[in-house]
Structure 1
């Protein structure tokens, strides 16, 4: 029985279950008919994805079937494992057939042992559900606060990048010090922000992308899900991360799973299992040795995330500091500077910066009063800064400084580069921006004016990077694709002129592969090919075919970011681009 025939014989629930276990085939363009589905499930990329999910017993059984030695395995355990492999579409038929590429792989890679051991006996966690939920929500809130604070800082001052790329340990230490956080936590926040499209490259290093303001204003559940899904989907360490959380579902002790991780993820590299475990705790996916409700969302056992809205708690103190929990209110971000952790500090410079940006003292006091009682020293500071604010004015002439006679005389005496034009007017050869900075450094509170004499409201510079280009991946549900396939099981392959010409040039590709390549060529869409060059080297390329020139495919190659010619006869496999 061929694979497509086996798939066509499954009932709708069984087919949907198989598709759910192999989600890579749910991405458009979805398979049309069982022949295309069989080809997609047997492709190298799909098999690599599913192999990363297998446990040791499943690998041992698969290798034994390839070698024809399954009769030597424990019969009871083999009868348990075989349906699991069949449900994944890796084995079918009474003669236990496998996809050719998988059989070839297992014939060379059979070092997972000769025996089935059964799933390790793992204890359940004893943690109280309410305690686990509170810990998860606290970790999630701390994560959102940390990422938000990090990106707010990067808005005003981009994160410095190394010449060779990435962020160095010195810059990481600076961020950790300013945020009062552990360097490991800051490193995770940076990775999460980059992976979720919130942090990107600018000329000066790394800064928030244009997507960040919308994310910052979103609901906590949505913000957390964007970060957590990016973490769960990271290619690096992904199999270990997914095996750890999946095996811990249902109240199993996470540490017990970690101790047996070589059974759940036998092909893992030598990475330290403590790293993904610690990251999961920082995200709130694991707490008190338990997979939390947030973790269950990541492994697909829950449909949504529930997190309470973060109420920004503020306590204004008489020493001109504020203790803040949650995302700081705009008035606080405008008039104070984060000193470390949850502590923010008001100063003459920070209040003056708010007034420069267009705030008025009465607005600052009103909005701060809505958050907490305003101590007398803070009210005095704000009113005093406003009283002095604009006492000295800078008008662009390149440039003149206007002040009362006594102040003008003091500036001329104290600071170099000023010339008295009139009792209340000084000139400078420097730019207005530099003169403003010089006067502020000297303790004055000047404001800028335009040539007409109107006060210029200053805006803090905000650094923004362009978000990474995201491939729009439209997906079907397993149930939708199963219903579509059963309704139309045999979609005829279009054997047009391009198909026939490609078939003459390459007699090794299957009909679905030739159809994908022909469609990409006719429509100018992307396709993935496995290619062997004339030296025998093999590569996998995502290409956009443009034209067929004799025996060559003129295409745009995404790997080389340039036009390339590929000999059609040397294309060893074709996959739909996903």
Structure 2
């Protein structure tokens, strides 16, 4: 570390460009917007908001060393933590790099706002001096041994967990009186508090039961085999699930709730259609939404529809499609596992606003980084990931707060980022910022171009099918089971669906014949021929519309069918019936009642109705707000700006009385004035008058409230009130 400095600002001014780069990388919020000079940087780095953000990123080891410095000093930290002096010094250097410690003439000291954020370091109470009582720490152990059982039990529960407690009831009041009489507790208005010195003595001079070492990772006793193969199988499953949901919503889009999101009924419909649990159904739906494959169409009666991005995504190969989903999940700020949970406002719906959780992106990345730091092929238990998260984010995850590590790991397994409880090769590439598609492409089995057709109207795909064959089977068959092989079943409805889509029966038979190494079974051939014979007898045109059929009996059945009364069918010729309804409506209702019509154009040729499918607009990718990082180029620009500002400030200071006053933004100005008012200290301020002219004066702030600061200026202590927005900068006297 450098030599001691007179102040925190001088400590920052003495840093080299490389040291400033280290600081700005660790605390990127200091760069936005760029400070005017190093004095302004010091002011911003010492604000409560910036310090709190920096402390949130500290691991438990670094936080405990900082707490030890707060409780005593750097020299006492090794003894307080039971750690080696070299280890503590290394951590102190890291804390100095982040401007959370600075070198004062009296030794290493925390930045001023650290004490404002860590009001109870290591869960210790206020000092005896702050409580206005004498220091009785030397007699604490003796007094502890003389306590009754109830009082000793109470102090045992408090000394490591919390310094303050309420004592309600006669028996508890007697315990409080005993502890106060013993000097172990100080009575306050409504509770009792353990003085810091007494609490430390009761702990045996240690801040924590354990030291400053992170959780021990699992050893290599167990090795997960075929993790990449398991990951690839999960990736193919999730692709199939996403495609199934989007295709289903393409033909029957669900409504958007008035409050946003998907209704519980539609959520269950998705789970039933996929044959999965509600949690996986919610994850698949949220994943498609995160990848911009589905969106709110914004109509007068809005629905969830596929977007144009889905059409582009569906044309890519499986590895690229999976990579798009994995990348969207990695960057998403939504928590699918919250769907179905109850709140005071009601149930959280899939795709609803309450399923968004700003911390989800960071939590997801913390979990996968914990897996990456373990030896490859070593399975990791949820308990270890929980411990790592609490160690790396002690302020965000105090004891008792849920980590949701199990939820993240379950989603990672569904997506194929992990396999057999280890990070797959593709998952490791995603975490490291490499291309996950290439890693997944090598893990996925090669697509097959053949089917095993069975006489019981089923077909077995021995692996993932080629794109053309997969599209054919989606059109003409239903998935009966999935696994290492996929079993399809041909039905009347599935064959009719293929014919409705414009695929002729002859072409369907030909494609199945080419794809099967054995002849097409006779039952399947008969099924296709029978459905084709009945298919297309009734034709719907666009003249308002009309229906024509050479089978007069079929037209008689239609006109007399009470379920088709809404179509207002009217015969105009023995083989022609007209309806005022739209052709698409007529087609849909006739198909629902088993008449198997097809559409034809004005020239009598078969056409497909609904080819021009509605698409929702592709939503903007809404990433959670983050200040996680800043580029090296931006840091170099900020440092150059700081150096130039420092030179300009020095020139101005040489021409005027008093110290140089940096330009500070309103947030920093407000924080500095509040600190000066609390300390009854004078500061130099630069301000603009009603004419816009700049002035400087020595100011004694007394009260900061409502965007204004009131205090005294000049030798006569004249009371003045300034608006915060008129103050251009603040500097210590």
TM-score, normalised with respect to structure 2: 0.58
Tell me if structure 1 keeps the 8 A contact 2:224–2:379.
no
Q: CA deviation at 1:231?
A: 4.8
SS in 2 for 1:426: strand
* 1:56-455 map, 5 Å: 56-74=60-78, 76=84, 77-93=87-103, 95-96=107-108, 98=110, 100-107=112-119, 111=123, 114-115=207-208, 116-128=211-223, 130-202=225-297, 203-218=301-316, 219-220=320-321, 222-231=323-332, 235-238=358-361, 240-248=363-371, 249-251=373-375, 254-255=380-381, 257-258=384-385, 260-261=387-388, 262-266=390-394, 267-268=396-397, 269-300=401-432, 306-308=439-441, 311-313=446-448, 315=451, 317-318=453-454, 319-323=456-460, 326=464, 329-338=470-479, 341=482, 342-369=486-513, 371-373=515-517, 375-376=520-521, 377-407=523-553, 410-411=556-557, 415=561, 418-428=569-579, 430-451=581-602, 453-455=604-606
User: Separation in 2 of the partners of 1:81 and 1:143?
Assistant: 44
User: Separation in 2 of the partners of 1:206 and 1:449?
Assistant: 30
Where in structure 2 are there 5+ consecutive unaligned residues?
125-159, 161-206, 335-356, 563-567, 649-660, 672-689, 693-706, 709-721, 729-733
* Distance 1:188-1:263 versus aligned 2 partners, 3 A rule: same
CA RMSD across the alignment = 4.7
User: Separation in 2 of the partners of 1:132 and 1:108?
Assistant: 45
* Distance 1:216-1:332 versus aligned 2 partners, 3 A rule: same
Q: CA deviation at 1:176?
A: 1.6
SS in 1 for 2:58: coil
Larger relative contact order (CA 8 Å, sep ≥ 6):
1
Q: Spell out, residue by residue over 1:256-291, the C-alpha distance to the aligned partner (whole angstroms, 9 max, x if none).
A: 523524333323133554222323333334443433
Q: Spell out, residue by residue over 1:283-312, the C-alpha distance to the aligned partner (whole angstroms, 9 max, x if none).
A: 334443433334434543757551117555
Where in structure 1 are there 5+ consecutive unaligned residues?
496-508, 518-528, 531-548, 552-565
SS in 2 for 1:396: coil
Q: CA deviation at 1:190?
A: 2.6
Q: Spell out, residue by residue over 1:341-365, the C-alpha distance to the aligned partner (whole angstroms, 9 max, x if none).
A: 5554433333333333333334434
SS in 1 for 2:577: strand
User: Separation in 1 of the partners of 2:555 and 2:239?
Assistant: 51
Pick aligned residue for 1:467 from 615, 618, 632 = 618
Tell me if structure 1 keeps the 8 A contact 2:253–2:305.
yes
The corresponding residue for 1:9 is 15
The corresponding residue for 1:554 is none
User: Separation in 2 of the partners of 1:49 and 1:206?
Assistant: 38
Q: CA deviation at 1:369?
A: 5.0
User: Separation in 2 of the partners of 1:7 and 1:222?
Assistant: 46
User: Separation in 2 of the partners of 1:354 and 1:573?
Assistant: 74
Q: CA deviation at 1:179?
A: 0.6
User: Separation in 1 of the partners of 2:516 and 2:608?
Assistant: 27
TM-score, normalised with respect to structure 1: 0.72
User: Separation in 1 of the partners of 2:282 and 2:459?
Assistant: 27
Q: CA deviation at 1:110?
A: 5.3
SS in 2 for 1:351: helix
Q: Spell out, residue by residue over 1:52-86, the C-alpha distance to the aligned partner (whole angstroms, 9 max, x if none).
A: 43222222222333455444322524224223334
SS in 2 for 1:444: coil
Q: Spell out, residue by residue over 1:125-163, the C-alpha distance to the aligned partner (whole angstroms, 9 max, x if none).
A: 444365333333333333333333333323323345555
SS in 2 for 1:511: coil
Tell me if structure 2 keeps the 8 A contact 1:393–1:403.
yes
Tell me if structure 1 keeps the 8 A contact 2:333–2:360.
no
* Distance 1:315-1:97 versus aligned 2 partners, 3 A rule: farther
Q: Spell out, residue by residue over 1:226-252, the C-alpha distance to the aligned partner (whole angstroms, 9 max, x if none).
A: 234125896345555444333341317
User: Separation in 1 of the partners of 2:35 and 2:619?
Assistant: 28
* Distance 1:339-1:120 versus aligned 2 partners, 3 A rule: closer
User: Separation in 2 of the partners of 1:425 and 1:67?
Assistant: 94
Tell me if structure 1 keeps the 8 A contact 2:509–2:525.
yes
User: Separation in 2 of the partners of 1:172 and 1:47?
Assistant: 43
Tell me if structure 1 keeps the 8 A contact 2:241–2:284.
yes
User: Separation in 1 of the partners of 2:475 and 2:14?
Assistant: 64
Q: CA deviation at 1:448?
A: 2.3
SS in 1 for 2:665: helix
Tell me if structure 2 keeps the 8 A contact 1:395–1:401.
yes
Greater displacement, 41-50 / 158-167:
41-50
SS in 1 for 2:402: coil
The corresponding residue for 1:537 is none
Q: CA deviation at 1:216?
A: 3.3
The corresponding residue for 2:696 is none
* Distance 1:315-1:476 versus aligned 2 partners, 3 A rule: same
Tell me if structure 1 keeps the 8 A contact 2:60–2:392.
yes
Tell me if structure 2 keeps the 8 A contact 1:358–1:458.
no
User: Separation in 2 of the partners of 1:8 and 1:160?
Assistant: 62
* Distance 1:40-1:299 versus aligned 2 partners, 3 A rule: farther
